[in-house]
Chains A and B, each alone.
Chain A
Amino acid sequence: DQQVKQNSPSLSVQEGRISILNCDYTNSMFDYFLWYKKYPAEGPTFLISISSIKDKNEDGRFTVFLNKSAKHLSLHIVPSQPGDSAVYFCAAPQDFGNEKLTFGTGTRLTIIP
């Protein structure tokens, strides 16, 4: 049962343009969501999060949008830079007080110079 889904395994974007990575979830009990970034041979690195009481959270070039009615969130990166090339995972804690994370399958983002 894949509770967090990333349906695009890969995405290529021109440098300077906007990158939009999508994530869908099935569990309406999820309280907040996190995005992680992973480079080859490294562990995932936390990028940005959003609580279910918000619909937007912004941190520099990164903005996450949450649409609870659609059970959908997206990560926007603008402007995209070559160093953003990585695999991006969305994740959610299983439920309140249970901090284990359920991850999507990831989207490999390639920024084209």
Chain B
Amino acid sequence: DTGVSQDPRHKITKRGQNVTFRCDPISEHNRLYWYRQTLGQGPEFLTYFQNEAQLEKSRLLSDRFSAERPKGSFSTLEIQRTEQGDSAMYLCASSLPLAGAANEQFFGPGTRLTVL
């Protein structure tokens, strides 16, 4: 299966700790997205990359959040000094946009973060 993978699937941490999540997109996809989903809500955009360039960051992405995609392949999302409000499902998606076609983003299974 060559779908989008995310690691870890679950993370429990104490408030104030740093956490890092990894996303491996579908290999030929040049765009990679991070979303956050909280209970009862749809996924909310955080940031996206085209190859290694981070093209946009949501205002939801505070200074404590940083994302990288150093070689244009996998990506990491780091949250520093976690807060209880950071508890959510963090979803990664990738796409290979085709001109004139819908932007079908393929999502990974997500990393569920719980901050105690």
Residues of A within 8 A of B (CB): 4, 6, 9, 32, 34, 36, 41-46, 49, 51, 89, 91, 93-94, 98-106
Is B108 an interface residue, CB under 8 A from the partner? yes
Bound form: Cα–Cα A43–B91 in Å: 7
Residues of B within 8 A of A (CB): 4, 31, 33, 35, 40-45, 48, 56, 58, 91, 93, 95, 97, 102-110
Q: Chain B contacts of A101 at CB under 8 A?
A: 33, 35, 43, 45, 103, 105
Bound form: Cα–Cα A51–B102 in Å: 8
Of A43, A93, A94, A102, the most chain B CB neighbours within 10 A belong to: A43
Could you say which of B43, B44, B48, B108 contacts A99, with CB atoms under 8 Å apart?
B48
Could you say which of A6, A43, A49, A100 contacts B104, with CB atoms under 8 Å apart?
A49
A-B contact pairs, 6 of them (CB 8 A): A42-B109, A43-B91, A43-B93, A99-B95, A100-B56, A101-B103
Bound form: Cα–Cα A6–B33 in Å: 23
Contact B104 A106 (CB under 8 A): no
